[in-house]
A and B are shown apart, each in its own frame.
Chain A
Amino acid sequence: MNKKQHKEAARRPHTSKVGSFGGVTLLFFFLLAWLWASWWMGDVFRVAYERSFFAPDATLMHWLVQKQMGWMLVAGRALLTLWRWPLAGGLLVALLLTAASWLTGRCLRLSGCLLWLRYVPATGWLMWTSHVGLNLYYMAEPGRILGVPALYVAALALLAFALRLFTGKPHSRPAASWRWAVGEALFVVLCFGLCVWHQQARHPYLRPLTRMQVQLLHDDFAGMSATAHENADLCNRHVAGYYAIALARTGQLADRLFDIRLDFDTISARDYHGWSSQCLNYHVVDCDYHAGLYRAARHYVMEDMTMAGPSLFSLKYLAKIALLDGDWVLARKYFHIIRKAPFEGPFLRRFEPMAGHPELVQADPELAAVLGMAPPLHTFEQFHLKPAFLGYYANLKVFKTKEALIWSTMACLYAKRMPDFLQRCGQLIGSSLPRSIAEGLAIAAVKEPGVLKAFPQLEMQMDFLDGFVRDSQPYMQDREAGADVLFERYKGYYPYYYFFGNIRNARKPGDDEQRQNNAGVN
């Protein structure tokens, strides 16, 4: 090819072959993004949707519109509503990221060996979502999740339109070989792989945790238990909290609470101050509510709404708690607000008819269970250990139901408060003992032989305990190491928890500090 022919070739638009290669990699990116967003991150974004609130109403969105970039945040929240259905939400994310990549390539006129650069903004967003973990939506504005990419796409679309308008011709790219396309595809795969790896390394609990939260939304308590068991060695406080809810609602609290690690690694999250936080209040509302402490749940959910603005999570809880309190007008107010949000028909169809009808409240399995666990006597929240969920039951001495007695006994076992535990066990003499309580009594019997007289059925437990003591003896000086070694063999066994569980109890500055610094009588 001589010089003239080269010039001719350069002048001719070469979009067909390159376009098809570029299109294939874009399609590949789109499919990977859809898979990532709807399957890998599906539950995470679904929970983000619950922690967000959008309604096409000026009064309700006024507080958000007034913030910096308020319209972008509102738009982001509006797009997030599609996550009511993770497949649809994933499709939206995939479309946004693909459009962002395509437009980046067009506006920057990338071609040939540089074409892979068009994926950098989209993969940057992927990496950010993988990096921030709970802070994607907790103690953070959920509107930015999709608001930022949507704004980016809109800005690039305008720029591309302007370029097209002023240059008057489509962007032409020189011919590129299929090798560049393969390289581009490899880059995309590498980026997705990196995101998945980074998220698993930094936030291993995030997917199981959000999975359990979504299962809780569907009253799938068996599924929650299964998810916790599949991730039994996670050592995460939030997962443990949701696991306890599942066990309590299926009557297995006293049999299976110690089946998972209860050591509680530190997590990578930040509070509103930007300080490292263990996000202790993340699960407290759910736990308090399902433990019958719905007043304490309201306390925390109101604080959450004060700090983060209304969310479906907070509004739904406030509506249900109003029903439990018999505040029908208040419940209707919350239902009225929730109705303004799109796609919340199922919740409204289930709960709204209960306003003004206590018999319907009593007939609902969830609300009836909560009422059944409610404290029998007047007390102040501050008189109990924080978080109130198990702390309340550890201090409770009067019980409305046997279930509440079991909870309190388990709370004492969890807190390793053996004298209090024994005091409650006195009320269980003569009845069949749940597994963990029998195992706890076996430990108590070592110091107090009278226990064996009161509970003669513990003989076999004492043999197990002897075996455990023999196995665990070498690790008594280094319990953290022992916890790892012995877990597989002794998971679910209370003496293992008693000696090797909950020994780190890491607690970093965070929620409590925030409460102190920003608290007062308003």
Chain B
Amino acid sequence: MRKAIFIRMALIVATMAMACCSRKPSSVPTTFTELADSAAIFPDYSDVTIPPNIAPLNVKVSDASATEYVVEMGDLIAGAAKDGKTDIDTTAWRQLLGQNRGKDIAVRVYAHRPGGWVRFVPFTIHVAAEDIDGYLSYRLIEPGYELYRQLGLYQRNLTNFNEAVIYENNRDFSDDDNHCVNCHNFQNYDTEHMLFHVRAAHGGTVVVDGNEAHKIAIKHDSILAAGVYPSWHPTLPLVAFSTNNTGQVFHMYHKEKIEVLDVASDLLLYDVENNSVRHILRSDKYLETFPCWAPDGRRLFYCRAVRPVDDLPENMPMQMAIHYDSLLYDIYSIPFDPDTRSFGEPRLEVDASSQGRSTSVPRVSPDGRYLLYTLGNYGQFHIWHNSADLWAKKIGDEGTEECFPLAAANSDKAESYHSWSSNGRWIAFVSRRLDAAYSRVFIAYFDRDGRAHKPFLLPQRDPDHNTLLLKSYNVPELTKSAVRISVERLNHVVYHTEAERASYTE
């Protein structure tokens, strides 16, 4: 770890030393020509709404003939050399946002062309009044298809550029140690209780309780597979899991590239304290997946589809693949009594299948007013579907509900896997909108009227980072605090402890 930090520091120092050698202007040019064009900046931060505690929004300005640039953001001046990259001073940035909480910041971009300075059409950045949760955790993995190598769970401090490792698998190939990690989940935006899965070598589900952790195995003849998509109950030591028998197929000539299909899936309830598991829903007729608790913990939302094939032969994914575009998921909810820990009758929440469409990943806002989900043309693994967009349903008295797209947040590429901030004003989600292949984290303001604003790309110190990184971001989860348990402790639990088998109750 120390070595990694040292190496990273050395790289940063080398980069900074090189940067120091290049010339960056430090003041706004006094004479310039006004242009009618907008500046070509990456990421596109024009007219986005940002939280007042976000890290500096560094940009890369591109202009064919310019040799240097100035980006003026309110009182803050950021210069850029020929590469067009700004490196905004964090202290000055914090001061700027502090002064403009709930207000707009005008941004003016200047470029020094051979004929003199020019200024592009100014744009605005809106600073919201509400903070975003300070930490975002995610998985970084190649958008590969079947194989995996080095991957890990990371946690980004959103107020600066620090990225910490939560857990990383083995960097060097080893038959004894190769494993994948996925599906990290937190209880009620807090890092006190969290979990993630380990697949292959050292397999199990790692359950974290503060600074301690242990590994469990959810296995039983009655259960399809291990627990997959998790959702912590907001207050009780309970986790709802889906258990999925999943396969994937690859398009040879199609606008989509991959289909990930569930051949079968059910819902489970895992009791953390008693290390026991039982079915919530189990049927051959339906595919149930993506459980999500309501913030009061009295209702469980999930996706459900009718299985198109009743009797599947041996090569099940292949058979299911024939029906890949007729798998349509609706969102249901089922009441839960915390006292008796019993479930009631399912209720249809979002009827997408009757419209010939399919939902995925339901997430209820912390105030319980909105149900956020992804809607695509078919299936449930919408991160591989260009048709996938974010939608919301206003939850109210019966008959007053309405479903609507988050138009300002969506693009013509896949949007999926979203999470709320604890104050309900921000949503973080992944999208393939930048290049159709590598998913990146975007953050959008969700106002009190249920309207999403234009999202912004997760800021990086080097704006090129999102272009150069050959990994995708998965499962962005916002939390109020940093994960406390150390990497070393998690390493010990994964590598050196046996998974305790959960008992199954009917």
Q: How far is the CA of A522 from the CA of B8 in the complex (A)?
A: 27
Contact between chains at B246 and A521 (CB < 8 Å): yes
> What chain A residues lie within 8 Å of B247 (beta carbons)?
521
> What chain A residues lie within 8 Å of B147 (beta carbons)?
303, 306-307, 514-515, 518-519
Task: Name which of A61-69, A421-429, A437-445, A493-501 contacts chain B.
Answer: A61-69
Contact between chains at A380 and B435 (CB < 8 Å): no
A379 sits at the interface (CB 8 A): yes
Please encode chain A, from 286 to 317, with 1 for each CB lying within 8 Å of some chain B CB and 0 for all others: 00000001011011001101110010000000
> What chain A residues lie within 8 Å of B237 (beta carbons)?
none
Contact between chains at B437 and A330 (CB < 8 Å): yes
Query: Number of contact residues on B: which range applies?
Result: 35 or more
Interface residues of A in 330-381 (CB under 8 A from B): 330, 333, 336-337, 340, 374-381
Contact between chains at A380 and B464 (CB < 8 Å): no
> Given A58-B12, A520-B199, A521-B260, do A380 and B250 touch, yes or no (CB 8 Å)?
yes
Q: How far is the CA of A280 from the CA of B180 in the complex (A)?
A: 25
B420 to chain A, nearest CB (A): 25
Contact between chains at A380 and B251 (CB < 8 Å): yes
A402 sits at the interface (CB 8 A): no
Q: How far is the CA of A380 from the CA of B325 in the complex (A)?
A: 13
B253 to chain A, nearest CB (A): 5
What is the total number of residues of chain A having a CB less than 8 Å from a CB of chain B?
Answer: 54
Closest B residue by C-beta to A379:
B252
A383 to chain B, nearest CB (A): 7
> Given A374-B253, A380-B321, do A307 and B435 touch, yes or no (CB 8 Å)?
no
B92 sits at the interface (CB 8 A): no
Q: How far is the CA of A380 from the CA of B468 in the complex (A)?
A: 30
A471 sits at the interface (CB 8 A): no
B318 sits at the interface (CB 8 A): yes
Q: How far is the CA of A374 from the CA of B252 in the complex (A)?
A: 9
A329 sits at the interface (CB 8 A): yes
Contact between chains at B462 and A518 (CB < 8 Å): no
Contact between chains at A522 and B249 (CB < 8 Å): no
B309 sits at the interface (CB 8 A): no
> What chain A residues lie within 8 Å of B495 (beta carbons)?
none
Closest A residue by C-beta to B15:
A58
Contact between chains at A303 and B144 (CB < 8 Å): yes
A431 sits at the interface (CB 8 A): no
> Given A60-B468, A68-B172, A295-B251, do A330 and B436 touch, yes or no (CB 8 Å)?
yes
Closest A residue by C-beta to B143:
A302
B121 sits at the interface (CB 8 A): no
B398 sits at the interface (CB 8 A): no
Please encode chain B, from 286 to 327, with 1 for each CB lying within 8 Å of some chain A CB and 0 for all others: 000000000000000000000000000000011001000000
Contact between chains at B146 and A59 (CB < 8 Å): no
Contact between chains at A518 and B7 (CB < 8 Å): no
A57 sits at the interface (CB 8 A): yes
A142 to chain B, nearest CB (A): 15
Contact between chains at A519 and B252 (CB < 8 Å): no
A450 to chain B, nearest CB (A): 34
B205 to chain A, nearest CB (A): 16
Closest B residue by C-beta to A275:
B175
> Given A60-B468, A337-B468, A381-B249, do A70 and B146 touch, yes or no (CB 8 Å)?
no
Q: Which of B149, B249, B254 contacts A307 (CB 8 A)?
A: B149
Q: How far is the CA of A442 from the CA of B436 in the complex (A)?
A: 50
Contact between chains at B436 and A58 (CB < 8 Å): no
> Given A302-B145, A381-B249, do A59 and B180 touch, yes or no (CB 8 Å)?
no
A360 to chain B, nearest CB (A): 20
Closest A residue by C-beta to B253:
A375
B40 sits at the interface (CB 8 A): no
Interface residues of B in 153-173 (CB under 8 A from A): 171-173
Q: Which of B150, B252, B462, B467 contacts A378 (CB 8 A)?
A: B252
> Given A65-B11, A382-B249, do A59 and B144 touch, yes or no (CB 8 Å)?
no
Q: How far is the CA of A300 from the CA of B383 in the complex (A)?
A: 20
Q: How far is the CA of A138 from the CA of B254 in the complex (A)?
A: 31
B407 sits at the interface (CB 8 A): no
B492 sits at the interface (CB 8 A): no
- What are 24 A-B pairs at a CB distance below 8 A? A58-B12, A58-B15, A67-B172, A272-B173, A273-B173, A273-B175, A295-B253, A295-B257, A298-B257, A302-B144, A303-B146, A306-B148, A306-B149, A307-B149, A327-B435, A336-B468, A378-B253, A380-B259, A381-B249, A517-B200, A518-B148, A520-B148, A520-B199, A521-B246
- Give me 17 other A-B pairs in contact (C-beta within 8 A), A68-B171, A68-B172, A380-B318 excluded: A58-B14, A274-B175, A295-B251, A296-B250, A303-B147, A306-B144, A306-B147, A337-B467, A376-B253, A378-B253, A378-B254, A379-B253, A381-B251, A381-B252, A518-B178, A520-B200, A522-B146
Residues of B whose CB lies within 8 Å of any CB of A are 4, 7-8, 11-12, 14-15, 141-150, 171-173, 175, 178, 180, 182, 199-200, 246-254, 257, 259-260, 317-318, 321, 434-438, 462, 464-465, 467-470
